[in-house]
Structure formats: structure tokens, C-alpha cells
Amino acid sequence: MKTPTDALTAATGTHWTSEEAWVGTRRPILEAHALPAAVYADPAFYAEEQERVFSTSWVCVGTHDELDAPGSAIVRSVAGRSVILTRNQNGDLRGYFNACRHRGTELLEDDCTLGLTIRCPYHRWTYDRDGALVATPQFADAGVDRFDTTNYGLHTVRVASWQCLLFVCLSDETSPIEHWFGDLDQRLAGYRLAGWRSHLTRDFEFAANWKLVSENFQEYYHLRWVHPELAKVSRVQDHYRYQGTGMYCGQTTTPLSNDERGDWDALPPAEGLSQPDMASGRFIALFPNVLLSILPNHVFVMRLDPVAPDLTREHCTWLLPPSNPQVADEDFAVTRNFWLDVNAEDIDIVQRGQKGLSTGSYTPGRLSPRFEEPLHRFHNMLADRFVGISRIPAGDETDDQPLYGTGINPLPWRSVEDQARKVN
């Protein structure tokens, strides 16, 4: 499918489709600048971003187990278009635009459990879960020429279940999802996340641009001052790049530390993890809209849903491994409350970021090569979507190379003794 963006780019081009608009981003990290305020606060940029980024990317719309129950369907808005995700009778994932093929009525208002079919509320045209038109009450009886129901099935959208998440892509021109996320599937293979299940969900809404939340997640520069508790289990000096080819910005904390509250080790780890996975936290911002924190015993997903330039919905889900599927709430409370505290601290600081960027006075500052290199990568991915470059960025050559003063990434695993000897 050609998206409206394709037509827009060809026809007009705007300030943001030119490389000059991104000159501070395109510089090497040692000289790069942060993004201008308009990128976070201007409604015109936001509208263009919906087209150039959200309608051309693999956008996360949920966790895979939201479609576990037979006949379940979820309704999501992607780049302002309503889409339906469901599974057919064989369990295969399916995605459709949420519009009837008769006169365009929205088919489903909200998440629901379907029977065998999707039925339009207006004149009851009915589709099976493969999108085929199977009933048109009283339509053909009165006579209609050359009407072939096979021409009026639901319009499909690309959907994918990847790791423990569901994705939609509105453009047919975008690479397949395996290519989009590059080597990340392989990096995460040892966790076998497709078998993990949601334990708890929470939604938040806050007054900041979605990119501020992603950027904040990607950098650990703010850790000491914004999150004194998090800094005990995820120490600044234990952060490293975890970055291969793919549309993501990754870091690892290795080794994870313990604190007196046991924030991250209150639950048993998943069975069968490798030693490096067992000792690490993986923090990965998938482009564009999902932030994954993968710990040995739980996964915390933050899915970002832009609502306006200065308004974002954040859908949070905690998942547990199949070896520990049922956890009493009192046993989960430490982990849950830890994340809720960290999230509240982050929401507070990104809302203040939005306020500062909206003063009209901000001119782009400099990025810290050591702490903010992932933001530089993220900004360049954003620039690529705007100027129409469909490249999947390369990653680091190896995981164990010194980068920007952070020392040698301790992967591949050496030994516990080496870790203890590591100079802090």
C-alpha cells in the first residue's frame, strides 16, 4: 500500500524533508546537537511525524497474549487510522482497517471477543476472521449487477507477532519486521519471550512528547539525580552498549546489583537462561514506540501512544516467564512498586522537559558522547524517516570493544572473578 506520506513526499517536501533541517543530528556524536524544540512541540511537525514515521514503521500495538483467547480482537489507532487485530480460526494473526466495505462504517469500537465473524453495526454486512465478506442481508435479493463478494473483503494491514509483542505496519514498502529489528531477535533468543505472559498492566497519560520518554529511557546520564534507588541496582558504571544492526537503541546493565529491598531479585529467574542473560538487564528502545526492560525474572514493557505533540499515553505491562507464571500480588509488590516509583520520577522530569522546550527560547544543546550516544542513533533514525531514507542502521562491530569511556563491555561473559575485579 502506498501511504499518504509517499504522495506527500513526492508532491511537496517540507522543511523537515531536507537534510539541512537535521544538520546538527547528522554530525558525528562528538559534535552532534540535540533536536530543535519544534520536533517536540510544533503541531505541524507532529502531524508530519504521524505520516512519515508512524505510518511507515513497525509500530507496537500490544503484547502477544492480548489475542490468546479464541475470537479475541483488539482495536488500535496507528498514525490516526483505526485497525483491528485478531486471529483466524487456525490461530494465524490477521490485521484489517476498521472500516466496512459497504459505506465505510467503523466495525469495532473497542477490544472485544468476536464470534466467528465481524459484523457491521449499520446494515449487517458480515466478514469472517479472514476478512472475507460472507453475508450481505437483503442486498442482492433486490437485484444488483456484477456484485462479487470476493471483491469486497476487508482491507488488510501488515501485522506481526515478534518476541512478546504485536506490531502493525501501514506501509507495504517497509522491510519485513525480521529485517527491521536486525540482529535483535537473535540477541534475545535465549529469553524465549514468546512464551512469557502478561501479569499486570497499568496505563498513564502525561504532558510530554513521546520522544522525550523514549530519549529519557535511552540515557543513563540522569540516573544518579532522578533515580537514586534505581542507581543502586543498575549502577552507572555497569551500563554498556548492547547494539547491533537494527531499528533499536540498546543498552545492557551487567552485572545487575542487589539492594537491600531486593527490587529486582524478589522473584526466581526464568529457567534456562545463559549466564550473561542471568546476570544482566537489557534496556532496549525499539523504534519508534516501545521501551523494553528485560530482567532475568520479569519484563517491563512501556508502549508509547502519541496523542498530541505534548500528550502521550503510556501502556505498561509486566510479563513473567513460563517457569514462574503465577505470582501472588504480595510477592510481586516489590518489583511493581519499584517500577511505579521509577516511572513517576521519569514522568515528572519529561513533563518538565516539555515545559522548557515550549518556552520558545530553546536552541539545541550538545549531547554527551558517553551517555547519550543512543539518542544520537535515535535522532538519525528519525531524520532518515523524514528525508525518505529507508536504511536499517548498523551496530557496533563487537560487544567487547571500548566505547566512549565506558570500558569494555563484559560480554561475552568472562567470569565472576573478572567482574569483581572490574575497575569501577
Interface residue list for ligand FES (CB under 6 A)? 100, 102-103, 105, 120, 122-125
Q: How far is the CB of 318 from Fe ion (least distance, A)?
A: 17
Query: Which residues in the 136-175 window bind Fe ion by CB under 5 A?
Result: none
Q: Does 219 bind Fe ion (CB under 5 A)?
A: no
Rank residues 124 and 197 by Cβ distance to ligand FES and give the closer one.
124
By a kind-dependent CB cut-off of 5 to 8 A, residue 123 interacts, out of ligand FES, Fe ion, none, with: ligand FES
Q: Which is nearer to ligand FES, 137 or 228 (CB)?
A: 137
- What is the C-alpha to C-alpha distance for residues 71 and 50, in angstroms, rounded to an integer? 30
Return the closest-CA partner of residue 60 out of 43, 41, 85, 35. 85
**Cα 243 from Cα 236, distance rounded (Å):** 18
Could you tell which of Fe ion, ligand FES, none binds residue 122, using a CB distance below 5 to 8 A set by kind?
ligand FES
SS3 48: helix
Contacts of 275 (CB under 8 A, 6+ apart): 413
CA distances from 404 to 110, 215, 238, 396, 397 (A): 47, 18, 14, 12, 14
- Residue 41: which H helix or E strand, with range? helix 38-41
**Structural contact between residues 150 and 139, judged by C-beta atoms closer than 8 angstroms:** no
Element (H, E) at 161: strand 158-162
Binding mask 296-335 for Fe ion (x = CB under 5 A): ----------------------------------------
Q: Choose among Fe ion, ligand FES, none what residue 147 binds, the Cβ cut-off being 5 to 8 Å by kind.
A: none
Kindly tell me which of 103 and 355 has the beta carbon lying closer to ligand FES: 103
Query: End-to-end alpha-carbon separation of the chain, Å?
Result: 52
Q: Does 372 bind Fe ion (CB under 5 A)?
A: no
With CB cut-offs between 5 and 8 Å by kind, which of ligand FES, Fe ion, none does residue 78 bind?
none
Establish if 346 lies at the interface with Fe ion (CB under 5 A).
yes
Min separation Cβ 128 and ligand FES, Å = 15
Tally Cβ neighbours within 10 Å of residue 100: 23
- The minimum distance between CB 57 and Fe ion, in angstroms, equals 24
Where does this chain bind Fe ion (CB under 5 A)?
346
